[in-house]
Structure 1
Amino acid sequence: MSRRPSVETGVRSNGSGSGSGGGRAAENGERTPLLFDDEAADHDLDQDDRASLLSSGGRDPQKRRPSLPALKKLDPYPGDGLGARTANAMVRARDQLVETLCCSPVQRWIDRHRNRDEELNIYSLASLAIVMSYFSIGVALELLYTPIAYYLIDDLGAESGVYTVWVILVTLPWSFKAAYGFLSDCVPIRGLKRKPYMLIGWGVHILSNSALAIMGTPGEDAVVILSFLSACGYLLSDVMTDAIVVEKTQRESMSNMGNIQASGYIARYFGSAIGAVGGAVLYNKDTWGWGLTISELFWINALVPLVLVMPLMPFLLEDKKPREKGVLKRHSDELWTLVQKTAVWRPMIFVYLYNALMLPNGAWTNYLVETLDFSDWDIGVVNICSQICAWLGLVIYKKWMGDVSWPSLYWYTTFLTFVVTIAQLLLILGISASWGIPDLLFASGDEALSEVILALQFLPLTRMYAVMCPTGSEGTSYALLTTVSNVAYAVAYAIGDLLTDLGGSWSTSNATLLAGDMSGMWRLTLLTSCVAVTPMFLVWLLPRNKKEQQELQKSSANNRLGGQIFLVVVGLSILFTIIEAIVELIEA
């Protein structure tokens, strides 16, 4: 792939008479006597000035930046009158300011990180904002999850339906990721597709949490509405961060492809682990007698991206894109071409079915609370273990399992998932307790192993998505592909919720669990464990690795019907999640 042009700064940074830069006047074809107008400098300088410049620098004037004294003959306003002298002095002062800014330590530091090698190093200053953005997203996802449940139910005395509304609204924006990507691809701001929207997203998140913090003890409506806005904000930033990473991934060598993604998601999962620990430990005053208020936790949630992401945004490099006509139609055509590719819709069928049939046991949390009498702290411990182990799963894959073929990886992890979920029967039937294993330890270990397995499956999919994305539409295409997994899981969640409403011998109601009747619980656990294995008969639809996926992308094999089915299924699934959310809100 050809090298991308450097970030346009409005001035030339290398003294070359050609290439990008030159400012707005250069774009309009006007000759403006700027400091870096080398062609004008060469034309207007006389032989004495030329000789002076050559002696001072030893280079041809066309290859070096002339000093300001030598630019006196470039004055745009002729004459010795007061007006001309004043205008020319203003021009020279402007040029001096530009030269000062261009040679400032900050600019030199940014220029030093402008080459491709440094840009592809995710821990360099030019890319560090990506790592911090992923980390902040992880914190935002988990920090307030447990404290808000405590706050709404225990402190405000809210009905359980209010908490249900909160969960629905903070998860609903995940269905809009494709819309966020399409917006950034089609409506760049000042020529930039990612950075402005990334700033807007974090700005909305920071302002929403700051407003909640200033309220001190916000009411139910404020928590629900502002949390929804906060989720919209950090998910907008998440989509932009993903798009930037995909652009960088596509410039990696074959041997290193996916390393940037892996590093970014490891940072995100680490942030989730830190957030889960912080939320469970810092907001536990009733149990431990010390801790932070909900207002102080809102401040922390706002300050994390403000301190870690915002100061690094000026150093994040992004190429400016020229204005395009018909960009909406072009991106729509590119997406339609993308989903028709056999190399895209075939593996995505497997991804959708695999996630849609990974049915959750909707009664599991109720079982832990009602039957095993788990406290809020116990539930927090289970969540902490799961987040830490999910992060470890990503590290394990990046370090030691990157070369394992994707179908083989799915066979191994699906088998382990089946074993782990079936092992829940030991807890449900009381066998683990008879072996002397504490319930909290068994439940935490079970949840932790499940998260490790999911993390091992996660990174290969993100690498596959990155290879699929067409250049120029990374935001829309990557968000669309990841939305497939999100809406498929939403469908699985809805099916799991329906299964918990079964009566008779399948009943898992709170009354049944409190009565000690586990017949419905073990049946539901066995059913969800067996159903999760069924999609494996389509695992052959997956490519073996990223190299094979790239080769398939070059193929001209298309299928119009396959693309139509793909879009209809995704569209109906998104519509389903929205309708379900509305119904849940009405019922709550």
Structure 2
Amino acid sequence: MEEEEEGGQVSRAAANDTNNDDNDNNDNNNNDKGSVWSCIQAVNPMIWPRTLAQHFGCQLLVLIIGSQWLVKGFAGGLTTGAADYLFKSYHVTASRLQIFKTVLNLPQNLAPVIGFLSDWAPIRGYNKSPYMAMASVLGVTSCAIIGLVPQTALSVEGAVVCGFFITTQIVALNMLTQATYSERMQSKPAQAPSLVSFASFGITVGALLSTILVGLLVEEAGPKVVYLVAVPALAVILVLLAMGCAGETRQSAQQCAQKQQRLAQQKEVLFICVIIAGSSLLLASVGLSGGSVALNAAVAIAAAGLVLVACAVLLKPILAKAIAFFIIVTACSPSISGASFYFFTDTPAQYAEGPHFSPIFYSSVQGSVGQCAMLVGILIYKRWMSSWTYRKVMTVSSLLYAALNLLDALVFARVNRRFGISDQAFVLTSSGLENLVLTWQDMPSTIIISQLCPEGMEAIVFALVSTSFNIGSTVGANTGALLLQWLGCNPSGQENESLQFENLWVAAVVSAALQVVPLVLMLWLIPDCRQT
């Protein structure tokens, strides 16, 4: 009975607009029943934005292009792609590299605080654009520091702190933009998959362009130049905000007071925000202090457990269950990316038996294939999977992703070479398919939360969702680092480190096997209803 009630809540949220938007629904049904040509028309670069602009307005689309396509997709892709090479230049070990990268992502955990501040304390009557501007100034400055300050004058910890602030800008812009279009999607739920697909499509295109550039720039000029190239992309949003593209209407003192009253009634959510912020600051401190890998993993698990308990006790059951599922899914995927990066990019002097991928191939070629695969994944999702139930799309994508991750073990064990399959062909195929399936895991989460989000709480709720993914990922990265340490897989880009990779295939098998575990919990945590 409880499951039926939860499914009914989502279904009713998706049906709020039925009577007013019959024509929109008929158009969608016609597209769903059409041919492949109708699918192409649906994502036509002229028709798609024009249709969305009719429903949501041009300002919202421009904001999405600036904050998500350029900042999150392009600039975020550049800085993320260069981070591994930046840490390698400092000879950071694989396990420590993963810990530093979790620190870079910890601003995701501060997103609820940013969301609360934007809703509770508007600046001159505006909730979102002032906070977007402040975060952008901080991010642009930090990116310029990494690019301009010589490595001898900037410690690796200093670079991590600057990267933390770059991520803060990306997170704040993404979260506040999602909150903005969540408000619009609630009045037109039939168009929600199309708008989310538009945002995801542009982010993927921006990431594809950055992926093509990052390998070339690293190989020719080093990782610091990549950060200099990212500065203008991070700064564009300041121009758009000055032009009023946030589309905000200045609120009166009475409207602000009413919103504060609504927020004050959500003490449970605010308490969770405080827990998450405190845990994140603790994780950042431990990660930067050089504490043991085991300590980092223990703190991450404790933080995730505390958030799970708080959500279960304080939030509405249907929302708490969805957030819990996202945390568990990402936590049950131990990351081994630190060791795999060195495995693929070490030179013959460092790892004689390795693939020896150049930055151009590893970042630009492989990354571009992955981004193109994500675009295909978005189109497949929009055409055939947007009408599936949440359980169906999450089950199919999770099983496929776990199976594809097993292929990594074959490369790490060098099995592909025994059958005459080149490393390049094997990796391009497997990573492309992994990225394609990954899009099917990500997109339903945005839709289900937009349908469950309480009115007036969009920024905070979306922040909690993005935080739930990051908390789980933090657990996965830190437990993965501990797994690598236990298995003796801790390369650092030094010469003659072949022994560091002997058990890497075991780590890949363990990681893939654990990814299937959360599917058992889906029956209790995710409602069995359609996405539209």
Change (3 A) 1:315 1:430: closer
Distance 2:321 2:82 in 1: 42
Contact 1:354 1:535 in 2 (8 A): yes
Q: 3-state SS of the aligned residue for 2:190?
A: coil
Equivalent in 289, 308, 316 of residue 246 of structure 2: 316
Q: 3-state SS of the aligned residue for 2:335?
A: coil
Equivalent in 190, 202, 208 of residue 142 of structure 2: 208
Q: CA deviation at 1:218?
A: 8.1
Change (3 A) 1:416 1:335: farther
The within-5 A match list for 1:336-347 is: 336=268, 340-347=315-322
Distance 2:406 2:425 in 1: 17
Q: CA deviation at 1:355?
A: 1.6
Would you say 1:306 and 2:235 are equivalent positions? yes
Q: CA deviation at 1:196?
A: 1.8
Q: CA deviation at 1:335?
A: 5.9
In structure 2, the residue matched to 1:243 is 179
The letter of the residue matching 1:538 is L
The within-5 A match list for 1:538-577 is: 538-540=521-523, 541-545=525-529
Distance 1:228 1:206 in 2: 12
Distance 2:142 2:484 in 1: 35
Change (3 A) 1:465 1:422: same
Q: CA deviation at 1:462?
A: 0.5
Q: CA deviation at 1:223?
A: 4.0
Distance 1:304 1:514 in 2: 39
Change (3 A) 1:214 1:349: closer
Gaps of 5+ in 1: 3-115, 286-290, 549-588
Q: Normalised by the size of structure 1, how large is the TM-score?
A: 0.64
Q: 3-state SS of the aligned residue for 1:283?
A: helix
Would you say 1:529 and 2:520 are equivalent positions? no
Would you say 1:364 and 2:331 are equivalent positions? no
Contact 1:145 1:279 in 2 (8 A): no
Would you say 1:508 and 2:489 are equivalent positions? yes
Change (3 A) 1:374 1:413: same
| Aligned residues: CA RMSD | 3.3
Q: CA deviation at 1:153?
A: 4.8
Contact 2:78 2:227 in 1 (8 A): no
Q: Deviations over 1:116-146 (max 9, x none)?
A: 9847446x24531222210122222221334
Equivalent in 54, 62, 87 of residue 128 of structure 1: 62
Distance 1:515 1:403 in 2: 49
In structure 2, the residue matched to 1:219 is 153
Contact 2:52 2:195 in 1 (8 A): no
The letter of the residue matching 2:331 is A
Change (3 A) 1:190 1:232: same
Q: 3-state SS of the aligned residue for 1:314?
A: coil
Decide which structure has the larger Cα Rg and report it.
Answer: 1
The letter of the residue matching 1:508 is C
Instruction: Indicate the larger mover: 302-311 or 535-544.
Output: 302-311
The within-5 A match list for 1:166-565 is: 167-211=101-145, 219-221=153-155, 223-252=159-188, 254-285=189-220, 294-295=224-225, 297-307=226-236, 310-311=239-240, 313-323=243-253, 324-325=256-257, 330-334=262-266, 336=268, 340-361=315-336, 363-368=339-344, 369=346, 370=351, 371-380=354-363, 381-502=365-486, 506-510=487-491, 514-515=498-499, 518=502, 520-540=503-523, 541-545=525-529
Q: How many pairs does the alignment contain?
A: 420
Contact 1:463 1:546 in 2 (8 A): no
Instruction: Indicate the larger mover: 341-350 or 405-414.
Output: 341-350
Change (3 A) 1:361 1:149: closer
Contact 2:327 2:472 in 1 (8 A): yes
The letter of the residue matching 2:216 is V
Distance 2:392 2:223 in 1: 48
Q: 3-state SS of the aligned residue for 1:178?
A: helix
Contact 2:391 2:528 in 1 (8 A): yes
The letter of the residue matching 2:205 is F
Change (3 A) 1:307 1:216: farther
Contact 1:119 1:127 in 2 (8 A): no
Q: CA deviation at 1:450?
A: 1.6
Contact 1:266 1:394 in 2 (8 A): yes
Q: Deviations over 1:442-482 (max 9, x none)?
A: 12322222222121111100001111211112111110122
Q: CA deviation at 1:273?
A: 1.8
Gaps of 5+ in 2: 1-15, 18-50, 270-310
In structure 1, the residue matched to 2:37 is none
Q: CA deviation at 1:403?
A: 0.8
RCO comparison, higher one (Cα < 8 Å, 6+)? 2
Contact 1:140 1:275 in 2 (8 A): yes
Q: Deviations over 1:306-343 (max 9, x none)?
A: 34662464243223333344865641433638953222
The letter of the residue matching 1:346 is K
Contact 1:129 1:309 in 2 (8 A): no
Q: 3-state SS of the aligned residue for 1:193?
A: coil
Equivalent in 46, 58, 75 of residue 140 of structure 1: 75
Contact 2:98 2:481 in 1 (8 A): no
